Amino acid sequence: MEEKISNIKEQALKEIEQSNDIKSLENLKVKYLGKKGELTALLKIMGTLSPEERPKMGSLVNSAKNEITEKMQSKEEVLKNEELAKELESEKIDVTLPATKQRRGSKHPLNRVIEEIEDLFVSMGYDVVSGPELETDEYCFERLNLPKGHPARDMQDSFYISPEYLLRTQTSAVQARAMIANKEKTPIRIIVPGKTFRREDDATHSHQFNQVEGLVVDKNISFADLKGTLEIFMKHMLGEDTKLRFRPSYFPFTEPSYEVDVSCFKCGGKGCNLCKQTGWIELLGSGIVHPNVLEMNGYDPTIYSGFAFGTGLDRLAMFRYGITDIRLLYANDVRFLNQFDRKD
Ligand code: DAH
């Protein structure tokens, strides 16, 4: 019996030592210490021994059991640590490796130009406002001194939805809205960037395009204010050397009205293909707000005066970035848009 105990113990310790994962260790536990295990079997036959032998054998079996249990526990710890180490190894990341490059979207050239203009005018105390793209005939034309049947309506081929509603052809529509809304007659200083629509489609015209409108209404507003403002605006967008030329023109909502040309930023005014050899590029419509417009929208023209201007943002963006076809701005072709990836 003594030898048997010692054999079982040696065998168990050896197998525990050799086991190399938690699972086989579990199996050994069952094999030696479980209910039907080898040592447990020996304890069961204890009753058949003589009373003298019994305590000795009992204590031998128990100490074997303790030794095996201890060995098992220490082995289990070793194995667990090994497994943990393996797991950590497999999860290890090298933070010094270069990251996978993420494709980031880029700001659309039109949005860049809009943001730049907004920043400039906000710095001069203007508010940025918007109006509906689906506009009424009343705000788009009538309140701007363009009654139904007025010949100047021909200048803007329009998309009518119904006799009363159309897609706005000009951001000027918001001029009337701003004046009507300003019941207290506080000074108006606004710009209105936004989408406009006309029935045209070629390399320099798109059925959808963008304008920015400017309107200032207050007491004692004169042409000098308009001229100074547009000079700041154009120099900021196209360079400090830019010169402006005011040509008399006609818009129903301003009197006098001007078309404003800027000196060609490509040739500096010498004449090139961009300015069609004239040295000038036509860029804005502007003027002194017509007394009829002030009156129709709640302002006494003997007290108040104002100036207004409007320009195509698409053309500005095209000049700024050397884009030759306006439709590229609206085609959402990533090959085009990627060229405006931010480098910063
Ligand atoms: N709305 C005009 C257009 O689309 C541009 C314009 C001209 C706006 C004169 C103005 C202005 O505010 O005073 O052709």
Position 48 pLDDT exceeds 90: no
Q: Which of 58, 91, 124 is the last residue of a domain?
A: 91
Of 200, 253, 307, which is best to mutate to test ligand 1, by the most ligand atoms within 8 angstroms of its C-beta?
A: 253
pLDDT tens-digit map of 252-292 = 999 999 999 999 988 888 998 888 999 999 999 999 999 99
Position 342 confidence tier, pLDDT thresholds 50, 70, 90: low
Position 94 pLDDT exceeds 80: yes
Q: Which residue has the higher pLDDT, 36 or 283?
A: 283
Say yes or no: 73 and 179 in one domain: no
In a domain, 303, yes or no: yes
Least Cα distance to 204 among 327, 321, 337, 330 occurs for 327
Place of tokens 């405006």: 340
Q: Which of 91, 120, 153 is the last residue of a domain?
A: 91
Residue partners of 170: CB distance under 8 A and separation at least 6: 140, 156, 196, 211, 213, 310
- Ligand 1 atom closest to residue 253's alpha carbon, by position in its atom list: 13
Give the lowest-confidence range in 10-19, 41-50, 275-284.
41-50
Q: Are the CB atoms for 109 and 317 separated by under 8 Å?
A: yes
Q: Identify the pLDDT of residue 344.
A: 43
For residue 275, report the distance from its CA to the centre of ligand 1, in Å.
Answer: 21
User: What φ, ψ does residue 280 adopt, rounded to 5°?
Assistant: -130, 150
pTM of the complete model beyond 0.75: no
Q: Identify the pLDDT of residue 51.
A: 85
Say yes or no: 129 and 276 in one domain: yes
Single-letter amino acid, residue 53? E
Evaluate: CB of 172 within 6 angstroms of ligand 1: yes
Rounded distance, CA 106 to CA 85, Å? 44
Mean residue pLDDT of the chain comes to 91
In a domain, 99, yes or no: no
pLDDT tens-digit map of 143-155 = 999 999 999 888 8
Residue bearing the CA closest to ligand 1, atom 4:
170
In a domain, 102, yes or no: no
Q: Identify the pLDDT of residue 343.
A: 52
| Burial label, 249 (beta-carbon count in 10 A; 0-12, 13-18, 19+) | middle
Say yes or no: 45 and 169 in one domain: no
Say yes or no: 182 and 274 in one domain: yes
Say yes or no: 79 and 42 in one domain: yes
Evaluate: CB of 309 within 6 angstroms of ligand 1: yes
For residue 271, report the distance from its CA to the centre of ligand 1, in Å.
Answer: 27
What CATH number does the domain containing 203 carry?
3.30.930.10
For residue 125, report the distance from its CA to the centre of ligand 1, in Å.
Answer: 21
Say yes or no: 120 and 70 in one domain: no
Residue bearing the CA closest to ligand 1, atom 7:
285
Print the domain residue range for 80: 2-91
Give the lowest-confidence range in 2-6, 15-19, 40-44, 62-66.
40-44
Q: Which residue has the higher pLDDT, 320 or 160?
A: 160
Evaluate: CB of 196 within 6 angstroms of ligand 1: no
Say yes or no: 289 and 163 in one domain: yes
In a domain, 74, yes or no: yes
Say yes or no: 121 and 80 in one domain: no
Residue bearing the CA closest to ligand 1, atom 8:
310
Q: Identify the pLDDT of residue 189.
A: 98
Count of beta carbons in the 10 Å neighbourhood of residue 245: 14
Mean pLDDT of 207-219: 96
Q: What percent of the chain has pLDDT over 90?
A: 56
Give the lowest-confidence range in 76-80, 135-139, 160-164.
76-80
Q: Which residue has the higher pLDDT, 80 or 102?
A: 80
Say yes or no: 77 and 115 in one domain: no
Residue bearing the CA closest to ligand 1, atom 13:
286
Split into its structural domains, the chain has a count of 2
Q: Identify the pLDDT of residue 44.
A: 79
pLDDT tens-digit map of 227-254 = 999 999 999 999 999 999 999 999 999 9
Q: Which of 91, 124, 139 is the last residue of a domain?
A: 91
Say yes or no: 288 and 329 in one domain: yes
Position 314 pLDDT exceeds 50: yes
For residue 331, report the distance from its CA to the centre of ligand 1, in Å.
Answer: 26
Evaluate: CB of 212 within 6 angstroms of ligand 1: no
- Ligand 1 atom closest to residue 214's alpha carbon, by position in its atom list: 12
Position 181 confidence tier, pLDDT thresholds 50, 70, 90: very high
In the chain, the largest separation of any two C-alpha atoms, in whole Å, equals 132
Pairing of strands 305-312, 208-218: antiparallel
In a domain, 101, yes or no: no
Q: Identify the pLDDT of residue 127.
A: 98
Q: Identify the pLDDT of residue 233.
A: 97
